[in-house]
Structure 1
């Protein structure tokens, strides 16, 4: 018998995405599969649509919108399976997208998390911004992907058709062993949304688990389906949460030095927004830093005894990705020296 898998789609007013992409999910050919729609207190007619058109699916409802992180925590506490797949509602999948990933994860008990290759649904020859062929970070916890550095997204020419260890896997199509999820108590609900999957992977890596990309499977993500990249609130969440997860997961001996440098690098982004007249985005960075400082005590209580020096992890670029990209002009992952 194949391991049991629960594909869990968290929905919030996403009827349009469900209409468009749920048909591909229900055609998945994995046998031991349940599909769960977790609803974050939607105010559209998502639930009526699901009940009328997909009565075979499990629908679990939250009493309010807990965000991406808290929403999944509440839903997955009611789901039983060997593996959870957190799948965004704006993802199209081929029929055989699950088994290659599960086979890979079954091959090694230390693999806790995996992702398939993420391609752009609107142009399927290109990688997708949110995950591409797997996530990495640099010395100052700037996230980037194999196939996407900052705003440069590569075309998939087979250059990343290898299964490798990552630092983080994309939350758009996030495979995790349920035992690992339960061991670390899922996502950090205080993050609300954005960077929560990086934090989860970081906590698991600090415990000795592996995070991998399975290049034998791919899915197609629209991206920005729930919060557009041009929304200052997304900027706020990204900048705030990046600092929070550094404080949580880095050893004390290096946490505050790296955070200090990171804040100054954020200041350069703040200046860039100002010069472009994007005042709302500049203010979002100010707000992110203020809220990071206000949460220092609360975040320190989340630290565990399992912090590992950053450079002992796989998936860490040992230089500054900001310097490599903006000064040295390295725009593609294969151009980086590891």
Structure 2
């Protein structure tokens, strides 16, 4: 008989992360089933788990499907009521799962929940991927309570609340399995990056809510698969963000906003090129052509209804970089 919650870690050649962080997951998740979905690793991750953590269940994918496809494939084999999709480079804490389960039990319309995400290396600081809960501005730029673009806040208890947010971070992503299946999981074309924001946006458009709780906390290393300075990460973030907006924005806003974002991306590409080198400029160009290539398929995935109001801040990029806010 499965427990209500399955903690599910996606792995690809991540034995070093499993050695470091799986012990905390096992120690503090007694009321959950623990799974590792393996994306056809070529290291000895599987042997390590079988030897030292025989109670951890293993689901083997037959290829490296990335974050989106890897979870979509592996979760078909897991039947628990709730999933926690947990990065392999996350340290969890005692009693971390119970505040989240309490939120699910109180309100059936809440589809996904995120805990407080702090930096493993600087434990008094919020971490880039999620921080105090994900939001989005009127130009489609994702940001977090506690993190705007690359600027991070110190944790002083300012986000110890429980509140509705726009998106929950994929590094520690609790979701009802029923809602995951009804939305057909992540968009596998994304491969990695912003697929969780797209899924949350689809859930919101279907009438569901996304929540954050500061009563649960985890510590995330970040950059375990793709380094923050990776040109491939730049490519995936820009391409996927454009596709996400095309899928989920209400039509009246769609045309002008996509055009405006393409122009801003051009400026950003020049900035990235000067700051980080030509590969990042080229990544922006590739991202736009990748978006154009996916456009017909993306349009077919638009839902019948898109909520008119979706943002929590306006003109964030200008306020941040020009207004120093």
TM-score under structure 2 length normalisation: 0.98
What is the rounded CA distance, in whole Å, between the counterparts of 1:138 and 1:113 in structure 2? 20
Q: CA deviation at 1:56?
A: 0.9
State how far apart, in whole Å, the 1-side matches of 2:19 and 2:30 are: 21
Count residues in correspondence. 325
1:319 Cα deviation after fit = 1.0
Partner of 2:48: 49
Superposed CA deviations along residues 93-137 of structure 1, whole A, max 9, x for unmatched, are 012100111101210011000000000011111100001000011
SS of 1:261's partner is helix
Map 1:160-179; keep pairs closer than 5 Å. 160-179=159-178
Q: Report if aligned partners of 2:165, 2:211 keep a CA contact under 8 Å in 1.
A: yes
Structure 2 alignment gaps of length 5 or more:
none
C-alpha RMSD over aligned residues: 1.4
Distance 1:81 1:60 in 2: 14
- Judging changes above 3 Å, is the alpha-carbon distance between structure 1 residues 91 and 99 closer, same or farther for their aligned structure 2 residues? same
User: Does the 8 A contact of 1:30 with 1:99 survive in 2?
Assistant: no
Matched, 1:272 2:271: yes
Shift in alpha-carbon separation, 1:277–1:176, aligned structure 2, 3 A: closer
Equivalent-residue separation in structure 1 for 2:41 and 2:66 (angstroms)? 12
Which segments of structure 1 move beyond 4 Å, counting only runs of 4 or more?
Answer: none
Write out aligned runs for 1:25-44 (5 A). Answer: 25-31=25-31, 33-44=32-43
Shift of 1:265: 1.1
Aligned counterparts, 1:43-122, within 5 A: 43-122=42-121
CA contact (8 A) 1:139 1:319 kept: yes
- Asked whether the 8 Å contact 1:114–1:214 carries over to 2, the reply is yes
Partner residue, 2:132: 133
Going from structure 1 to structure 2, the CA distance change for 1:275 and 1:226 (only over 3 Å counts) comes to closer
Cross-structure match for 1:231: 230
Instruction: Indicate the SS of the match to 1:225.
Output: coil
2:323 corresponds, among 325, 328, 333, to 328
Quickly say closer, same or farther: Cα 1:67–1:277, change in 2 above 3 A.
closer
Note if contact 1:30-1:96 (Cα within 8 Å) is conserved in structure 2: no
**Cα drift, residue 318 of structure 1:** 3.8
Q: Do the aligned partners of residues 132 and 184 (structure 1) sit closer, same or farther apart at CA in structure 2, a change above 3 Å counting? A: same
* Matched ranges for 1:245-260 at <5 A: 245-260=244-259
Residues 246 and 254, structure 2, Cα contact 8 Å, conserved in 1: yes
Corresponding residue number in structure 1 for 2:295: 296
- CA gap 1:124/1:277 in 2 versus in 1, 3 angstroms: closer
Q: How does 1:15-34 map to 2 (within 5 A)?
A: 15-31=15-31, 33-34=32-33
Are positions 1:218 and 2:213 aligned together? no
Provide the rounded CA distance (Å) in 2 between the counterparts of 1:278 and 1:165.
Answer: 39
